[in-house]
Amino acid sequence: MKRDFLSIRQYQSDEIRELLKVAHSLKKELKAGVGKRTLEGKTLAMVFQKPSNRTRISFEVGMYQLGGTVVFIKPDEIRMGEREPIADIARVMSRYVDAVMIRTFSHKDLEEFANYATVPVINGLSDCYHPCQALADIMTIEERFGSAAGRKIVYVGDGNNVCHSLVNIAGKVDAEIVVCCPEGYEPDKDCMCGNWTLSHDPQQAVKGADVVYTDVWTSMGQEEETERRLKEFQGYSITTELMFRASDKAIFMHCLPAHRGEEVAADVVESAASVIFDQAENRLHAQKAVLQALLAS
Ligand code: CP
Ligand code: NVA
């Protein structure tokens, strides 16, 4: 039976912990120059319906490092559901490649694709989830604190795809998670599992936080709401003053790309507390762990 990686929710706590353990090992092996080519002869198709820097490059480099190869499919190429039904694309691609990574808008489309595909499907970002990001995030927290268990993570901003996956993974690794957003921008309960706390007061929410996390206020596909969101998210920026309310050793996290002067102040991005480039790097190692788990025979 093939297995997919569409959301953190599909995975048990021990499976998430195992992926994280492998990701840390892969990082050490790569740095020591002793990485293994466990996916020799395997091909990953990468379908993008939105732009990307980290997801595209980290998957592509990850496959090469593991001895495999990739086919990159640009947003205007297959035109999922327009030029051809999703079900047909999934069945055709399954005849050519060993796994498919998709970045798309509708999570339902992704699920439909996965239902018809006979090879593993990986979510590279949908409107509901960003599970690869969440794995890299916890990996980064573990590097900084030894373990994520018992740590207080405060997500300040839009209750979006990144937020949902962060909430879901926090529960799997026994971290405490608080979501702090303006009214009307709460996360979707149908996309989440585990325990989480809701706040509408950033000053209060970040008190004693080990991790302060944010993401853009306007996600890809919501561009026409930009002006309204800029107004409604006032007071939710991560500033140096806000970081002072967190714990002394608190770290600042962002999945990137970051909009300086909106969800985060430029000096926070550049501060010693900021681990954003470790997060970005860890996408590579975390995704290699996922690829190996789904593909290595
Ligand atoms: N964080 C993230 O997924 O970045 P990209 O959109 O650049 O892939
Ligand atoms: N929430 C953002 C994440 C980008 C990585 C978006 O969906 O555009």
- Residue 284 burial class via C-beta count within 10 angstroms: exposed 0-12, middle 13-18, buried 19 and up: buried
Among 184, 198, 210, 202, smallest CA distance to 239 is for 202
| 8-130+282-295: CATH class | alpha beta
CA distances from 55 to 101, 113, 288 (A): 10, 19, 12
Task: Say whether 127 is catalytic.
Answer: no
Measuring from atom 1 of ligand 2, which residue has the nearest CA?
219
> Is residue 23 within 8 Å of residue 289, measured between CB atoms?
yes
Question: Given this model, what pLDDT does residue 224 score?
Answer: 97
Question: Given this model, what pLDDT does residue 170 score?
Answer: 98
Q: Is the CB of 161 under 6 A from ligand 2?
A: yes
Question: Given this model, what pLDDT does residue 297 score?
Answer: 74
CA distances from 53 to 24, 82, 103, 255, 290 (A): 22, 25, 12, 11, 19
Q: Is the CB of 92 under 6 A from ligand 1?
A: no
Q: Is the CB of 137 under 6 A from ligand 2?
A: no
133-280 belongs to CATH 3.20.20.140: no
Task: Say whether 255 is catalytic.
Answer: yes
Q: Which atom from ligand 1 is nearest to the alpha carbon of 53?
A: 7
Question: Given this model, what pLDDT does residue 79 score?
Answer: 84
Q: Is the CB of 216 under 6 A from ligand 2?
A: yes
CA distances from 267 to 2, 114, 245, 257, 272 (A): 45, 42, 16, 16, 10
Residue 172: CA count within 13 A, CB half-sphere? 27
Question: Given this model, what pLDDT does residue 290 score?
Answer: 98
Structure tokens belonging to residue 124: 């590279």
> Is residue 165 within 8 Å of residue 129, measured between CB atoms?
yes
Question: Given this model, what pLDDT does residue 26 score?
Answer: 98
Residue 60: CA count within 13 A, CB half-sphere? 12
- Name the pTM for this structure: 0.98
Question: Given this model, what pLDDT does residue 222 score?
Answer: 96
Task: Say whether 130 is catalytic.
Answer: yes
Task: Say whether 215 is catalytic.
Answer: yes
Task: Please give the Cα distance from 5 to 82 (Å, whole number).
Answer: 25
Question: Given this model, what pLDDT does residue 80 score?
Answer: 85
Taking CB atoms within 8 Å and a gap of at least 24, the contacts of 263-269 are 263/156, 263/157, 263/214, 263/215, 263/216, 263/217, 263/233, 263/236, 263/237, 263/238, 264/214, 264/237, 264/238, 265/237, 265/238, 265/239, 265/240, 267/240, 268/238, 268/239, 268/240, 268/243
Q: Where in the chain is the domain with CATH 3.40.50.1370?
A: 8-130+282-295, 133-280
Which stretches in the chain have pLDDT values below 70?
Answer: none
Task: Please give the Cα distance from 211 to 189 (Å, whole number).
Answer: 22
Q: Is the CB of 255 under 6 A from ligand 2?
A: yes
Measuring from atom 2 of ligand 2, which residue has the nearest CA?
219
**Annotated catalytic residue within 54, 130, 164, 285:** 130
- Helices 131-145 and 276-295: crossing angle in degrees, nearest 10, is 120
Q: Measured in angstroms, how far is the CA atom of residue 283 from the centroid of ligand 1? A: 9
**Annotated catalytic residue within 158, 255, 279, 285:** 255
Q: Which atom from ligand 1 is nearest to the alpha carbon of 50?
A: 6
